[in-house]
Amino acid sequence: MTMTKKLIITLLLLISIAFVHCLAFHVELEEFEPPRQEEQEAPVGEGSGEGWQEESTSEFPYHFRKRSFKNWFQSKEGFVKMLPKFTKRAPNLFRGIENYRFSLYDMEPNSFLVPLHLDADSVVIILQGHGVAEFVTAKTKELFHLTKGDVVRLPSGITHFAINTNQTVPLRFAKITIPVNNPGQFQNYFSAPSQFQQSYFTGFSKEVLSASFNIPEELVGRIFFGPQQMGQGIMRRITPDQIKELTENSTSPSNKHKDKSTKFSPFSLFTHDSVSSYTNDFGHFHEAHPESFDQLQDLQIAVTWTNMTQGSVFLPQYNSKATFVTFVENGCARYEMASPYSFQGEQQQQQWWPEQGEEKEEDMSGQVHKIVSRVCKSDVFIIPAGHPFTIVSHDENFVSVGFGIYASNSIRTFLAGQGNVLSNLDTVATRVAFGVGSKVAEKLFTSQNYSHFAPTTPSHQQS
Ligand SMILES: *[C@@H]1O[C@H](CO)[C@@H](O)[C@H](O)[C@H]1NC(C)=O
Ligand SMILES: *[C@@H]1O[C@H](CO)[C@@H](O)[C@H](O)[C@H]1NC(C)=O
Ligand SMILES: *[C@@H]1O[C@H](CO)[C@@H](O)[C@H](O)[C@H]1NC(C)=O
Ligand SMILES: *[C@@H]1O[C@H](CO)[C@@H](O)[C@H](O)[C@H]1NC(C)=O
């Protein structure tokens, strides 16, 4: 008897715990619509694991908050933060972009990023500040001056270094990386040792290095294995005189003159003729397509810069092929997206029924999942191909940059505003499809006379 009673009590207890959990879960789901003013950054380290768990189950997988970034390097001279692999969050949803990694760099004034190469291609957008990057090959040294809105293609294996040349403003850039050895994984290879990472020369014996460089083994030991660079990170302080010397003696093909530029010269999203732009009182949009830039062509990466005025909507649209990884550079906005894909409990499914294999059953429910999230400075959000989306900057100016993956021949199709695709439907098609009379059919998709960006308050409501 007592056993049965105990069992019943245990069961009741379990049920009530489950119930409370469900409630808590529900509240969390509801909670992230209202604006959060100052997003607190979770401390990196012991607390971050917990934040990750909570985040992956209670938020839309398309939205990576600032705290999702992991510190890869941090010192007085700057930091490098990287997002975990997208598939770590949602293995099925992001399988197509598994091989791409997003990171954020910040270099303090007068700092130097020591020479390195990667087993990955990368594309960089300069978000803020002034700096130089030098690409070094056995035959050439190319130094480029960089500023806000510049796009840099970093070929896999190229030895390069960077300097923040400004005395007061940090140099910040966002980077998408496409590994060449292992999907979603890459490494940085440094010739010089630091406290942070060994020199790649430590992979060789001192005997070989001594013979190769024709220097004594003792010197080899001191330079490549020695402790003298300990305490030094991969970003180091550099004096204004050293900056001057470095930048004066290098060839410097200007970014501004197209004729002089080489295949991998940086270009500006704001001034280059081949960048497509939309602009009106409510926003500016610049997009570099891979078809128009050698730098982006083989990687099939598109690059965008969006700047919206408070009280604007970036009209509903979708991309035909490109999936955009979008980083919020400034302000906050509401991102709305329609997704026919179910993502509820993606991670649990993987853990509970691994024997079902990788494939998840296709969602045939016909349901549209309404993805609504308030995205703020340093957040990342994903816009998959084909998904209609919009961005609304209600209460703040909003600036974001985007990297479009699989962007070759991708077309951006607007669903509202002048020249939108639906306004080009035959009136008969509109009438039959939406079940409206001809008068409504004519007005439905043609009443918005702004294109691309529009005010959040419809003009017919204004007095
Ligand atoms: C540093 O950046 C600030 C702000 O963009 C600018 O006004 C200043 O001229 C820059 N200084 C140098 C030395 O580049
Ligand atoms: C840079 O050029 C100056 C002369 O213009 C020269 O004095 C100096 O040694 C050069 N520095 C390096 C590192 O080559
Ligand atoms: C956004 O656009 C406004 C108006 O053109 C401009 O003043 C501002 O500097 C821009 N900001 C960024 C970060 O592009
Ligand atoms: C847009 O249409 C509204 C009426 O719907 C009109 O009042 C307004 O002047 C138009 N604006 C432009 C820029 O054509």
d(CA 447, CA 456): 14
d(CA 427, CA 425): 6
pLDDT (tens place) for every residue of the chain, 463 residues total: 455 565 555 555 444 444 434 333 332 232 233 333 333 333 333 333 333 333 333 468 999 999 999 999 999 999 999 999 999 989 889 999 999 999 999 999 999 999 999 999 999 999 999 999 999 888 888 899 999 999 999 999 999 999 999 999 999 999 999 999 998 899 999 988 888 888 899 899 999 999 999 999 989 888 888 766 666 889 999 999 999 988 886 555 544 444 455 677 899 999 999 999 999 999 999 999 999 999 999 999 999 999 999 999 999 999 999 999 999 999 999 999 998 887 766 654 444 443 444 445 566 677 888 899 999 999 999 999 999 999 999 899 999 999 999 999 999 999 999 889 998 888 889 989 998 888 888 888 988 889 999 999 876 644 3
- The pLDDT of residue 460 is 61
Residue 405 lies in a domain: no
- The pLDDT of residue 364 is 67
d(CA 63, CA 59): 7
With a 6 Å cutoff on the Cβ, whether 169 touches ligand 1 is yes
Residue 30 lies in a domain: no
Residue 156 lies in a domain: yes
* Residue 428 neighbours by CB distance under 10 Å: 10
Q: At 212, which CATH number? A: 2.60.120.10
- The pLDDT of residue 281 is 95
Please, which residues bridge with residue 381 across strands? Answer: 63, 326
Query: Ligand 1 centre from 124 Cα, in Å?
Result: 21
d(CA 133, CA 384): 32
With a 6 Å cutoff on the Cβ, whether 242 touches ligand 4 is no
List all residues 6 or more positions away from 173 whose beta carbon is below 8 Å from its beta carbon: 104, 105, 124, 125, 126, 127, 152
Query: Ligand 1 centre from 267 Cα, in Å?
Result: 20
Residue 132 lies in a domain: yes
Phi, psi (degrees; rounded to nearest 5) at 240: -55, -35
Phi, psi (degrees; rounded to nearest 5) at 5: -60, -45
Residue 420 lies in a domain: yes
Q: Of 108, 110, 130, which is best to mutate to test ligand 1, by the most ligand atoms within 8 angstroms of its C-beta?
A: 130
- Identify the burial level of 263 via C-beta atoms within 10 angstroms of its C-beta, where 0-12 means exposed, 13-18 middle and 19 or more buried: exposed
d(CA 259, CA 455): 40
Dmax over CA atoms of the chain, in Å, equals 91
Q: How many CA atoms lie within 13 A of 22 on its CB side?
A: 6
Query: Ligand 4 centre from 449 Cα, in Å?
Result: 6
- The pLDDT of residue 252 is 52
Contact between residue 363 and residue 341 where contact means Cβ atoms under 8 Å apart: yes
Residue-wise burial string across 175-184, b where 16 or more C-beta atoms lie within 10 A, e elsewhere: bbbbbeeeeb
Supply the residue whose CA is at minimum distance from atom 10 of ligand 4. Answer: 449
d(CA 56, CA 347): 8
Q: Which atom of ligand 3 is nearest to the CA of 284?
A: 2
Query: Ligand 4 centre from 251 Cα, in Å?
Result: 53
256, 283, 317: which is the final residue of a domain? 256
202, 221, 256: which is the final residue of a domain? 256
d(CA 323, CA 68): 20
Supply the residue whose CA is at minimum distance from atom 14 of ligand 3. Answer: 307
Number of domains the chain is built from: 2
Q: Which atom of ligand 4 is nearest to the CA of 460?
A: 5
Does the pTM surpass 0.85? The reply is no
Residue 428 lies in a domain: yes
215, 232, 256: which is the final residue of a domain? 256
* Residue 281 neighbours by CB distance under 10 Å: 10
Query: Ligand 2 centre from 245 Cα, in Å?
Result: 7
Phi, psi (degrees; rounded to nearest 5) at 392: -120, 120
The ligand placed nearest to the CA atom of residue 447 is 4
List the Cα angle 355/360/365 in 5-degree steps. 140
241 is in which domain, residue-wise?
A: 57-256
Return the residue matching tokens 């401390």: 43
Measured N-to-C along each axis, helices 2-31 and 48-58 cross at an angle, to the nearest 10 degrees, of 80
Return the residue matching tokens 């100052």: 38
- The pLDDT of residue 98 is 94
Return the residue matching tokens 């294999």: 357
- The pLDDT of residue 360 is 53
What is the 3-state secondary structure of the chain?
A: CHHHHHHHHHHHHHHHHHHHHHHHHHHHHHHCCCCCCCCCCCCCCCCHHHHHHHHHHHCCCCEECHHHCEEEEEECCEEEEECCCHHHHCCCCCHHHCCCEEEEEEECCCEEEEEEEECEEEEEEEEECEEEEEEECCCCEEEEEEECCEEEEECCCCEEEEEECCCCCCEEEEEEEEECCECCECCEEECCCCCCCCCHHHHCCHHHHHHHHCCCHHHHHHHHHCCCCCCCCCEEECCHHHHHHHHHCCCCCCCCCHHHCCCCCCEECCCCCCCEEEEECCEEEEEECCCCCHHHHCCCCEEEEEEECCCEEEEEEEECCCEEEEEEEECEEEEEEEECCCCCCHHHHHHHCHHHCCCCCCCCCCCCEEEEEEEECCCEEEECCCCCEEEEECCCCEEEEEEEECCCCCCEEECCCCCCHHHHCCHHHHHHHHCCCHHHHHHHCCCCCCCCEEECCCHHHCC
Q: What type of residue is 411? A: I
Residue 266 lies in a domain: no
Terminal-residue alpha carbon distance, the chain = 76
- The pLDDT of residue 439 is 86
Q: Of 148, 284, 310, which is best to mutate to test ligand 3, by the most ligand atoms within 8 angstroms of its C-beta?
A: 284
With a 6 Å cutoff on the Cβ, whether 167 touches ligand 1 is yes
- The pLDDT of residue 416 is 93
Q: Of 168, 238, 243, which is best to mutate to test ligand 1, by the most ligand atoms within 8 angstroms of its C-beta?
A: 168
Q: Of 445, 448, 449, 451, which is best to mutate to test ligand 4, by the most ligand atoms within 8 angstroms of its C-beta?
A: 449
The token pair that represents 100 in the structure block: 């791409």
Query: Ligand 1 centre from 166 Cα, in Å?
Result: 6
Ligand 2 pocket: which residues have CB below 6 Å? 245, 249
Residue 3 lies in a domain: no
